[in-house]
Amino acid sequence: MTTLIILLIALGIVLGVADIRRNLISKPVFQIFKKILPPMSSTEREAMEAGSVWWEGDLFKGNPDWQKLHNYPKAELSQEEQDFMDNQVETLLSMLDDYKIVHEHKDLPKEVWEYLRKEGFFAMIIPKAYGGREFSAIANSTIVSRISTRSLSAAVTVMVPNSLGPGELLNHYGTQEQKDYWLPRLADGTDIPCFALTGPDAGSDAGAIPDTGVVCKGMHEGEEVLGLRLNFEKRYITLAPVATVLGLAFKMYDPDGLLGDKQDLGITCALIPTDHEGVETGERHYPVNMAFMNGTTRGKDVFIPLDWIIGGPDYAGRGWRMLVECLSAGRGISLPALATANAHLCSRTTGAYAAVRKQFGLSIGKFEGIEEAMGRIGGSTYTLEAMRKMTAGAIDSGESPSVVTAIAKYHMTEMSREIINDAMDIHAGKGVQMGPKNYLGHQYFGTPVAITVEGANILTRNLMIFGQGATRCHPYVFSEMEAAANPDFEQGLKDFDGLLIKHVSYAAGNFFNALFHGLTGGHFKASAMSGETADYYKQLSRMSKGLALCSDFSMLMLGGDLKRKEMISARLGDVLSQLYIASAVLRRYEEDGRQAADLPFVHYSVQRCLYKIGVAFDGFFQNFPNRFVAVVMKRTVFPWGIGYEMPADAITQKVSRQLMEPGVMRDRLTHLCHIGEEADDPVAIVENAFIAMHENAPIEKKILKAQKDKQIARKLPFEDMVNAALEKSVITESEAEQLRRAEQLRQVAVAVDNYAPGEIEKLGLQATKKRSKAA
């Protein structure tokens, strides 16, 4: 007993007396930390410091405040934004024929371009003071989503000027003179913008761009001024072939010291008219057969004055920080909008098609294999809409959450890819035969576009989500890194000492909490909500604690090697991502009033998130380099094993059947999907057949009963069956006509496009002539 008391006193002295603790504990740890910590480049620091930490911070720290989640403002359209949706957007949709846009024009028709300019579709993010519409992020997202269900090429054309580019950068960083000149011109469509970042040798590694701007003197408007001599070559630049103003990212150098002592100033952004001497645009790429404008731009020895730098000379070298801070528009609004639109379209049409397409005398949607795929489509659609609204809502509330937008970009576009694959499988031949009747083909072709841009998905998952999350969201790591990078050793040690004690306490709390909730299955943890979702909050809180614990162990054991162990860190990023996705689903369920019809979708979505969390943790434990530590972590977080499973078949079938049932739930799930009023609109064709067949269900039941009673023979051709039912007075004449009308609609709905001999070749020849004439 005496020995124990002495040990406790000694421990108290070591930990409680700052000088003793600093020399015996903090200093050795600090020296090790400095050695294992890799040097932080300026671009890495700017990426880590940019933006804000939002709900993902709660999830990463192991103690999410669920009430805070539900108290975030609801993302809603204003009356002005809703009016724009009901009028201008609907008018635009009526002007679009996506088949002709893609296969005949290879561009939007001139009248569509003019309408987009005139009605401010390119000015959604520009303030009203400059003639813009100044719409919210949720409005921007909703508009792009709605357009995308009609034409992906049109949606991308609208999306780009309202995403990362000149308008966004000018709003945040432009000088007053730049704003006064450029923003009104962008707002009324006088100028069409593009932004050139990616080049042949610098895509995801934007910090390695070889394009240069060298400070020098040159002639501009008849006067010698201080400026930049630019040399650049860019590709994959959307709208570049038609742009009149070019946003350009380049590395800025001042070898002659004309601006000061620093020679390498860093990445800088400038705004340049495309008709400026030396600038080349006009060449087109042809991205996956889509018709939106995309191409190259280059320039050799292009001289521009310094005040063409966005933000003026004071913003020289600050371009990377500017870009990272503004990436939320593309990652958090535009690309999630495209993914969600694809889901709404696929859910609406696949549910309808599965009902009208028959095999073996049954609608194919009644086969369990089809139900499984439709369950994935419906569950993912509910999830995507939840993520779209929650992420856009964060941006509207003033946040710029770089980790959340990276999660949204990666996981939403990947879910969209899974959805379109399932929809194509179910549609089979209907999905692969291209022509005016095909409503899925262009979405299928265009899916890789969203996956590739704004940071390719492999990079986003493996380097960004956990890489930024571990430093931005952790309560102490980034501050510890700053202390270690301090050239003043003593001051750095002093800062580190205070952080270390807090970090140790934080880690110990996570360890014991994770172990307790692991042993008890999380059942003793309080739930934020009651009812059928109560246990989900407990399990997600438990997994949040597990993530905090495993992140600390990983950073402690692997140090700077962790960012090179991409498969290890990516799995921790997957855990964080699935926690965010499940949060969005639960928030949507509460926000929409806890509707009973939503529960199958909620159960499917959250259970799948928990299952994927388990898979990610299992892969992490299996592959963690230190096997002893891996076992300790696993036995702490999952002492009884990982018990999460994919949703039961019964839940999957409930989701699937709701896609095949006309009504409020189906309408709410797919409310962004455009259904044209034209007789030849492909979505309207399958929808009308679906409704007609549903209305026929009571009549078909009469016939089925008559067949069971052997009044009518089974497996008769359709018209013979109808006539036999009439003859036996099973149905009335009006009911027979109703059946015939529905069958006609069904036949049209399952039909695919046919071409006469030479017709396809003729279409290709016409398109070639149009391209040659345009050139």
Asked if residue 138 lies in contact with residue 77, where contact means CB atoms within 8 angstroms, the answer is: yes
Asked if residue 636 lies in contact with residue 518, where contact means CB atoms within 8 angstroms, the answer is: yes
Distance CA 64, CA 584 (A): 13
Distance CA 581, CA 379 (A): 12
* Packing angle of the helix pair 477-485, 489-519 (nearest 10 deg): 160
Distance CA 470, CA 711 (A): 71
DSSP letter, residue 108: -
Bridge partner residues of 199 (DSSP): 202
Task: Answer left, alpha or beta for residue 664, where phi above 0 means left and psi between -120 and 50 means alpha.
Answer: alpha
Distance CA 368, CA 19 (A): 69
Six-digit token string for 260: 């000061």
Q: CA–CA distance from 372 to each of 46, 197, 419, 444 (Å)?
A: 45, 42, 12, 20
pLDDT at res. 714: 85
Six-digit token string for 677: 């009023």
Task: Give the homologous superfamily in CATH for domain 193-326.
Answer: Butyryl-CoA Dehydrogenase, subunit A, domain 2 (2.40.110.10)
Distance CA 132, CA 189 (A): 10
pTM attached to this predicted model: 0.92
Asked if residue 601 lies in contact with residue 378, where contact means CB atoms within 8 angstroms, the answer is: yes
Exposure class string for 516-529: b at 16+ Cβ within 10 A, else e: ebbeebbeebebbb
Sign of the CA dihedral with 691 first, then 694, 695, and 700 last = positive
Six-digit token string for 523: 């059942």
Bridge partner residues of 202 (DSSP): 199
Distance CA 613, CA 597 (A): 26
pLDDT at res. 18: 57
Q: Hey, what amino acid is at 168? A: E
Closest to 383 measured CA to CA, from 620, 648, 663, 588: 588
User: Where do you find CATH 1.10.540.10 in the chain?
Assistant: 81-187
Asked if residue 383 lies in contact with residue 605, where contact means CB atoms within 8 angstroms, the answer is: yes
User: Where do you find CATH 2.40.110.10 in the chain?
Assistant: 193-326
Distance CA 463, CA 403 (A): 11
Closest to 337 measured CA to CA, from 166, 91, 164, 152: 152
- Residues in CB range of 258: below 8 A, 6 or more apart: 215, 216, 217, 226
Q: Hey, what amino acid is at 517? A: H
Six-digit token string for 96: 């679009």
Residue 547 burial (C-beta neighbours within 10 Å; 0-12, 13-18, 19+): buried
Q: Which residues of the chain have pLDDT under 50?
A: 4, 7-15, 17
Cα 125–chain centre separation: 19
Residues identified as active-site = 454
Domain 81-187 has CATH 1.10.540.10: yes
Distance CA 403, CA 474 (A): 12
Closest to 669 measured CA to CA, from 734, 715, 604: 604
DSSP 264-323: EEEEEEEEEETTSTTEE---B--GGG--S-EEEEEEEEEEEEGGGBTT-GGGTT-HHHHH
pLDDT in tens, 191-236: 999 999 888 887 666 667 899 999 999 999 889 999 999 999 999 9
Distance CA 499, CA 475 (A): 10
Distance CA 439, CA 346 (A): 9
pLDDT at res. 502: 76
pLDDT in tens, 485-539: 667 677 766 766 666 677 777 878 888 888 888 888 888 787 888 899 999 999 9
The torsion defined by the Cα of 409, 414, 419 and 424, in degrees rounded to 10, comes to: 120
Between CA 284 and CA 290, with CA 288 as vertex, the angle to 5 degrees is 65
Asked if residue 249 lies in contact with residue 269, where contact means CB atoms within 8 angstroms, the answer is: yes
Asked if residue 322 lies in contact with residue 310, where contact means CB atoms within 8 angstroms, the answer is: yes
pLDDT at res. 764: 62
CA atoms within 13 A on the CB side of 527: 14
